[in-house]
């Protein structure tokens, strides 16, 4: 399964379109292990401008292995908005109902649908890949947790890298550094150094900092130009911004 998931854009989930059904919103569930976090402002905006002609169709998976429960793959914010707008659990909406084989296949479809819309960030793609057990992603998560850092489900705000401490959102950089050495050893070395000297210091998780430190070590390790003692001394005397 893992080998196939590496090429998830080519992964064929179903040979048909599914069934068109009208379903009550009270019957619909959400799997938070791969879905993005709810954005209250987005829900509020939809709820205050409900236009059923423009509502669209929800994509639902009937989990045949789990009591035939109905899980929202695409349309979670719209469902929440209907509740916020005062619709009752019995209110029915048009849905395409699929019968995918697992939550992993749901997560693959979730990524496919949202990548096409170009509104899924690298961070939001990360958590579905954890469910799918994509080796680089699970490796990154393991190393960051070992080093004392957290990868949040979602982060909203400006100047992210300048305000976060010990929370990593630069997923593409983390994955790039992870594969620089077997078993993620380069990422492990970099993050342990940062945590050792700059734990809880503002700006200690920027992509530039992690990428730059990794490339410095990669370029000069095993040469006379890189001394571990000297590197530790320098880092102990400056802050991440410097």
pLDDT in tens, 109-130: 998 888 766 566 788 889 888 9
Q: CA geometry: angle at 36 spanning 20 and 41, to 5°?
A: 95
Supply 103's token pair: 């939550």
Q: Which helix (H) or strand (E) holds 143?
A: helix 135-146
In terms of pLDDT, which residue wins out, 197 or 1? 197
pLDDT band, residue 158 (cuts 50/70/90): very low
- DSSP-assigned letter for residue 152: -
Q: Is the pLDDT of residue 28 over 60?
A: yes
Supply 105's token pair: 């296949």
Per DSSP, helices labelled H in 6-75 are: 40-47
Contact indicator for 63, 69 with CB cutoff of 8 Å: yes
pLDDT in tens, 40-64: 888 998 998 899 998 999 999 999 9
Q: Is the pLDDT of residue 230 over 50?
A: yes
Mean pLDDT computed over every residue of the chain: 87
**C-alpha to C-alpha distance for 39 and 31, rounded to whole angstroms:** 16
Q: Which helix (H) or strand (E) holds 21?
A: strand 19-24
């Amino acid at each position: 399964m893992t080998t196939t998931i590496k090429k998830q854009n080519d992964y064929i989930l179903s040979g048909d379109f599914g069934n068109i059904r009208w379903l009550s919103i009270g019957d619909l569930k959400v799997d938070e292990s791969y879905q993005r976090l709810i954005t209250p402002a987005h829900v509020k905006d939809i709820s205050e401008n409900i236009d059923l002609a423009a509502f669209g169709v929800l994509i639902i998976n009937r989990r045949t292995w789990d009591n035939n429960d109905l899980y929202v793959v695409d349309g979670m914010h719209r469902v929440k908005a209907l509740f916020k707008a005062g619709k009752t659990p019995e209110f029915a909406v048009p849905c395409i109902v699929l019968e995918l084989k697992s939550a992993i296949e749901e997560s693959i479809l979730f990524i496919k649908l949202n990548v096409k819309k170009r509104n899924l960030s690298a961070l939001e793609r990360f958590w579905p890949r954890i469910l799918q057990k994509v080796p680089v992603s699970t490796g990154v998560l393991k190393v960051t947790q070992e080093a004392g850092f957290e990868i949040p489900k979602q982060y909203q705000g400006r100047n992210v890298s300048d305000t976060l401490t010990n929370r990593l959102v630069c997923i593409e950089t983390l994955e790039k550094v992870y594969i620089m050495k077997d078993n993620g050893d380069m990422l492990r070395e970099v993050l342990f150094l940062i945590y050792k000297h700059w734990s809880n210091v503002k700006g200690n998780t920027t992509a530039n900092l992690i990428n730059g430190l990794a490339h410095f070590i990669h370029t000069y390790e095993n040469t006379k130009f890189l001394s571990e003692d000297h590197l530790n001394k320098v880092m102990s005397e400056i802050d991440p911004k410097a």
